[in-house]
Amino acid sequence: MNQIVIAIDGYSSCGKSTIAKELSKILKYKYVDTGAMYRAVTLYFIQNNIDFKNIEEVNEALDNIKITFVINKETLIQETFLNNENIENEIRVNPRVAGFVSEVSAISEVRRFLVKQQQEIGKQRGIIMDGRDIGTVVFTDAELKLFITAEPNVRAQRRFEELKDKGKGTTFEEVLANLTKRDFIDSNRADSPLFKAPDAIEIDNSKINQVEQLELIMKLVNERIGLKA
């Protein structure tokens, strides 16, 4: 089967990672969670008291960061490792990581560091990558570009339920405020801001379920694979 690159961009808590993981299972493609990569860098900066505005400190810190993805043999779920330590749960529920990740993601040196790794991973095609600038910067030649969105209140409710299920004490208002802040930073940063690529297909999943969304995207995937043939 012809292998393509699928680039999925969009706002926080739109379910980009969920749909990307489902597609990777169906297509047997490699999945790269770029959001986890930025969260891993953010966690390292927090743990080591790195001054985000001190470029010399940032560059020195990046030299000491190694991010890898490992499939858990029991759950078959991909987990994120930072310098050989499993940080999957920490980067998902730590409020400080959520609070600072957009700020860290806006640092040009951080973006160049991770984009280079992402592009190297994708050279062999047969890959699904989700993030903020996959179709606009990382893989401008991706055969299929998707831009996932949903209404802010819907996204905030999804994130709130997720955190509640994980035992994290927070309020809907706090989650909504955090998402609003991240949306603004992601869309207005000077380096690689979040926006829909001209050739991306926008999907608003506010009122459709995961099954309906998957069916829609699989039709698009099959069309692109057929075109490549």
First to last CA, the chain: 9
pLDDT at res. 1: 60
Q: Nearest 10 degrees: CA dihedral of 94, 97, 102, 108?
A: -160
Tens digits of residue pLDDT in 146-200: 999 999 999 999 999 988 888 888 899 999 999 999 899 889 988 889 999 999 9
**8 Å CB contact between 166 and 92:** yes
In angstroms, the CA 189 to CA 182 distance is 10
Position 168: which residue type?
Answer: K
The maximal CA–CA distance of the chain, rounded, in angstroms, is 50
Residues 16-27 pLDDT 10s: 989 999 999 899
CB 155 within 8 A of CB 12: yes
Query: What is the tens place of the pLDDT at every residue in 54-94?
Result: 999 999 999 999 999 888 888 878 899 999 999 999 999 89
Q: SS3 sequence, 81-147?
A: EECCEECHHHHHHCHHHHHHHHHHHCCHHHHHHHHHHHHHHHHHCCEEEEECCHHHHHCCCCCEEEE
User: For residues 68 and 121, is the Cβ–Cβ distance under 8 A?
Assistant: no
pLDDT tens per residue, range 101-149? 989 998 999 999 999 999 988 888 899 999 899 999 999 999 999 999 9
- pLDDT at residue 62, as a whole number: 97
Domain 5-221: give its CATH architecture: 3-Layer(aba) Sandwich (3.40)
Q: What pLDDT shows up at residue 192?
A: 87
Can you tell me the distance from the alpha carbon of 193 to that of 103, in angstroms, rounded to the nearest whole number? 12
pLDDT the model gives residue 228 = 65
- Return the pLDDT at 101: 93
* pLDDT in the model for residue 169: 81
- Report the percentage of the chain scoring pLDDT > 90: 72
Give the pLDDT confidence score for residue 114 in this predicted structure.
96
What pTM, to 2 d.p., does this model score? Answer: 0.82
Closest CA to 18 of 178, 174, 186, 150: 150
